[in-house]
Amino acid sequence: MSTLQGKIVLVVGGSSGIGFAVAKYAIISHAVDTTVKELTATKAELKLPGEVDGEIVDGEESASVKSLVNRIGEIDHLVWTSGDSIGPSMTPNTNPFESSDVFDVRFWGAIIAAQNAKFRSGGSVILTTGVPVKKPPPGYSVIAGIGGAIDAVVRGLAVDLAPIRVNAVSPGVVDTEIWGNLPVETKNKIMEDTKAKLLVKHVAKPEEIAEAYIFLMKCEYITGQRIDVDGGNSYA
């Protein structure tokens, strides 16, 4: 099995949610000699062989994104999970057009980073879309459009940036900080309804989604693809 030992992984959006879980799993995957006992220990107890560094970037500003990738230098994998909270527009039956301003960080930020990053041999880009691209609930027209743009651009970039591989992960509902802007009762109702509806009968933890990003980094024979990690949402 391949590992991420010696690899440099740039996660943009790594301060919380899915991105944080990807960063955490990338470090664990790095640990070829880590025993199961160590993996079940707390983070502080883990003997982490990787190094972790943090930078601040505004994903909506192309100059900020270019400056980040230039500062970092050569990388192996670019993971883009940045996405500002879409707050009330994530509630079904609200005006879907309120969401149009969330395109910048999710789409353009990711594209600019992918185009300007310097990749080592075997490198890859992993972007983030979401279930509305395939099965939009009411009120998600614009979100579905953004997701569809990311889905399509992954195939274009896979051709244009080859041999750098470019893929996307499409999460279902994940319990992360992104839902924090909603009133607690609204959030709880969305989570309960989702849990009842899904084939897997639970809402995703960020770590369950992170598995797909790690796979896409490690498997050097996949490009131009989207992996749906949605708890069976398509069939629910």
Site for ligand NAP in 87-146 (CB under 6 A): 105-106, 128, 130
Strands (E), the chain: 9-12, 74-80, 118-128, 165-171, 226-229
Measured from the CB atom, the residue of 96 and 130 that comes closer to ligand NAP is: 130
Q: Assess contact for 92 and 173: CB atoms under 8 A.
A: no
Largest CA distance in the chain: 51
Q: Which of 76, 151 has the CB closer to ligand NAP?
A: 151
* Binder of ligand NAP out of 38, 48, 58, 100 (CB under 6 A): 58
Alpha carbons 102 and 116: distance in angstroms, whole number: 22
Nearer to ligand NAP, 58 or 207 (CB): 58
The residue from 38, 49, 50, 60 that contacts ligand NAP (CB under 6 A) is: 60
Q: Is 83 in the site for ligand NAP (CB under 6 A)?
A: yes
Using alpha carbons, select from 86, 101, 211, 181 the residue that is nearest to residue 137. Answer: 86
Instruction: Show the site string, 155-184: x = touches ligand NAP by CB under 6 A, - = not.
Output: ----------------x-xx-xxx------
- What are phi and psi for residue 102, nearest 5 degrees? -90, 5
3-state secondary structure of 79: strand
How many angstroms separate the CA atoms of 187 and 181, rounded? 9
Q: Binding segment for ligand NAP among 17-25, 32-40, 45-53, 116-124 (CB under 6 A)? A: 17-25
Task: Tell me how far, at minimum, the Cβ of 71 lies from ligand NAP, in Å.
Answer: 15
Contact 35, 41 (CB under 8 A): no
Q: How far is the CB of 23 from ligand NAP (least distance, A)?
A: 10
Residues that bind ligand NAP (CB under 6 A): 13, 15-19, 57-60, 81-84, 105-106, 128, 130, 171, 173-174, 176-178
